Amino acid sequence: MQELIQTEIDGKKIHFFRSGEDGAPVVYANMYAETGKAVLEQCERLGCKPFHFVSITNIRWDEELTPWAHEPVVSKDDHFTGGADRYIHCMEQQIIPYIEDQIKPPCRRIIAGYSLGGLFALYAPYVTEAFSAMVSASGSVWYPEFLSYVKSHRFLNKPDAVYLSLGDRESRAGNPYLRQTENCMRELYSAYQDEAICSVFELNPGNHYKDADDRLAKGIAWVLEQCGTK
């Protein structure tokens, strides 16, 4: 198990699991709860190549991971204020420099997340060049206008690899937005394929809340394997 360093930056709780491998990639994962150890243990079971892991929690979930403001979609308590750009700036200016002061750069950066964290992972490379690969496990790609945004914008830095996954029951919902999740994910996958981006779309058994840590670990393992060939 990697050495664990903990700190707080801009109100975010940072759990930095540092690998002993010089030049190893860094996976930055925005997470709803601190389950970094569980994700790492699953990555070890999957035989992942060495990597540094940064688990970021205490995020204002609806506010800071959404790319633009929108009225409630899932429940009346949604608070989608579109603060992703500001949070990306925080990552670029504060979180990434803190982490990379403690390891030997240069290193490949991978951004990962689940649910709205997965949406954020797919959005970030359109507004920053910081990341070279993305993991979106059960990403909230149903978010209004996100698919249109992807089709009308270009990455600032074309990613080396993109992992997409979804539970096979996630689109069985009464909500009209959530019901389109799998269709949106398949269209995103097709768009990345059209751009000749190394990408995969995987369906897992279960609904949105099943095996979240395992799904995230599977995505990290796949991306690390693809990036290792670049």
Domain residue ranges in the chain: 3-227
Cα gap 38→214, rounded to integer Å: 8
pLDDT by 10s per residue, the chain, length 230: 578 999 999 999 999 999 988 789 999 999 998 988 999 999 999 999 899 999 999 999 999 999 999 998 888 888 999 999 999 999 999 999 999 998 877 789 999 999 999 999 999 999 999 999 999 999 999 999 999 999 999 999 899 999 999 988 888 877 888 889 999 999 999 999 999 999 999 998 877 778 889 999 999 999 999 986 44
pTM, rounded to two decimals: 0.94
The predicted structure's pLDDT at residue 32: 92
Domain 3-227, CATH homologous superfamily name and number: Alpha/Beta hydrolase fold, catalytic domain (3.40.50.1820)
Nearest to 114 by CA among 52, 176, 61, 37: 61
The predicted structure's pLDDT at residue 104: 76
The predicted structure's pLDDT at residue 1: 53
Start-end of H helices in the chain = 36-45, 61-64, 84-90, 96-100, 116-123, 146-152, 181-194, 212-227
Judged by phi (left if over 0) then psi (alpha if -120 to 50, else beta), residue 177 lies in alpha
